[in-house]
Amino acid sequence: MSRTAIIAGQGALAPAIAARLDRPVVAALDGFSPPMPHESFRLERLVPFFDWLAAQGVDRVTFAGAVRRPRLDPEAFDPRTASLVPRILTAMQSGDDAALREVIALFEEAGFTVAGTEEIAPDLVPGEGILVGEPTAADIADADRAAKIVEGLGALDLGQGAVVAQGLCLAVETLPGTGAMLDFVAAHRDMRPRPNGPRGVFWKAPKPGQDRRIDLPAIGPGTVDQVARAGLAGIAWQAGGVILLEREEAVERARAAGVFLWAR
């Protein structure tokens, strides 16, 4: 019987995916341990790792969770993986989207099908609708503005999120990630032109043209807490393009904090 391997990163996504699969194989890059039992592997020994996956009966792979670019040890490459060094190094020096496309290509060339979260667990990727709360006309305008900003940044292979309040961009997501961006907004919440005006919206979406089988944006209860601490009115995201973890808990926290959640 064929099996699916989860290439797991940090965060709650990998366990959520594992709960929806029969006998998954869980593996993680050395140094980026997910919160679950797993096998570790190194990029310097990628080809032997492919052999190991095949020996476990794996024919499909999915990527789940946050991973930073690992440091490579040139002396650790095995002879077969060494032939891939130019491709691996070029990918590591490229933007996130280009690097991830190369990762997908390497797994596919090794004979594995690469599946995205929306294929394996479509319930984690909400379709269009307001889950809780009610965006105002000002919130809708801020979400529109933030969506345009993220679309523009995506063309440069930058982040997948932005915060806009009263038509002004307060922050964009870069390498440190969503949490750092929302912390920045919380620390600068007094920069809104009208202190008692619209509070602002956090927008999240994949990059234009992004391969959605890997690095799909994700939010969850922790994101809701940060948005509330930042004094924002709500979270809006591209329907069908963002993973929502622990949906019921996220909705309850949003309701308690007076934050809207909107897949648009």
Q: Per-domain residue ranges for the chain? A: 3-120, 125-263
Specify the pLDDT at position 242.
96
Model pLDDT, residue 75: 82
Name the CATH superfamily, with its identifier, for domain 125-263: LpxI C-terminal catalytic domain (3.40.140.80)
Whether the model pTM is above 0.85: yes
Whole-number pLDDT of residue 198 = 95
Per-residue pLDDT at 65: 84
- Written as six digits, the tokens of 242 are 């963002």
Task: Give Cβ neighbours of residue 207 (< 8 Å, ≥ 6 apart).
Answer: 97, 150, 153, 154, 155, 157, 160
With CA atoms as reference, report the closest residue to 216 among 120, 134, 135, 133.
120
pLDDT of residue 167: 96
- Give the domain 3-120 fold: Rossmann fold (3.40.50)
pLDDT at 83: 87
DSSP character string of 109-175: HTT-EEE-HHHH-GGGS--SEEEES---HHHHHHHHHHHHHHHHHHTTT--SEEEEETTEEEEE--T
> pLDDT averaged over consecutive 10-residue blocks of the chain (264 residues)?
89 93 93 85 91 96 82 84 82 70 90 93 95 98 97 84 97 91 94 91 91 88 97 97 96 98 97
